[in-house]
């Protein structure tokens, strides 16, 4: 039976980095996303909320990788409330604008949640 894996992205970048190393955190996230292309099993969905929503918007270094994963059938969902809070609702460049009800449902139904 295939595992139901969901990735939860809650910040803009991978890991905790000093403010002077923010670009490094963004580059690490991009590498992480590209590493998922060859994984088996692949995650069912990648969910973005709080500052993480910026990674799915225009200008993000991660767009190419996220588009590739979406093309492989991995759902990319972005929290609408978070997008509105940061004034980014019209800047979404990949994925589906979603809501916390759908995001929490996917989290509860997952066999494994990986938070980055």
Mean pLDDT, residues 57-82: 97
- CATH number, span 5-115: 3.40.1260.10
Q: For a pLDDT cut of 90, what percent of the chain falls above it? A: 86
Dihedral in degrees, nearest 10, Cα atoms 9, 23, 70, 56: 70
Q: Would you say residue 103 has pLDDT above 60?
A: yes
Mean pLDDT, residues 52-58: 97
Q: Would you say residue 81 has pLDDT above 90?
A: yes
What pTM did the predictor assign?
0.93
pLDDT in tens, 2-53: 689 999 999 999 988 888 889 999 999 999 999 999 988 999 999 999 999 9
């Amino acid at each position: 039976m295939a595992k139901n894996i969901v990735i939860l992205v809650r910040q803009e970048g991978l890991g905790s980095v000093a403010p002077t190393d923010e670009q490094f955190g963004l580059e690490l996230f991009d590498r992480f996303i590209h590493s998922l292309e060859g994984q088996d099993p692949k995650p069912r969905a990648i969910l973005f909320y709080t500052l993480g929503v910026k990674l799915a918007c225009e200008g993000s270094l991660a767009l190419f990788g996220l588009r590739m994963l979406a093309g492989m059938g991995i759902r990319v969902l972005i929290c609408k409330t978070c997008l509105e809070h940061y004034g980014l609702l019209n800047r979404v460049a990949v994925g589906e604008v979603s809501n916390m009800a759908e995001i929490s449902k996917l989290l509860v139904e997952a066999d494994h949640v990986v938070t980055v």
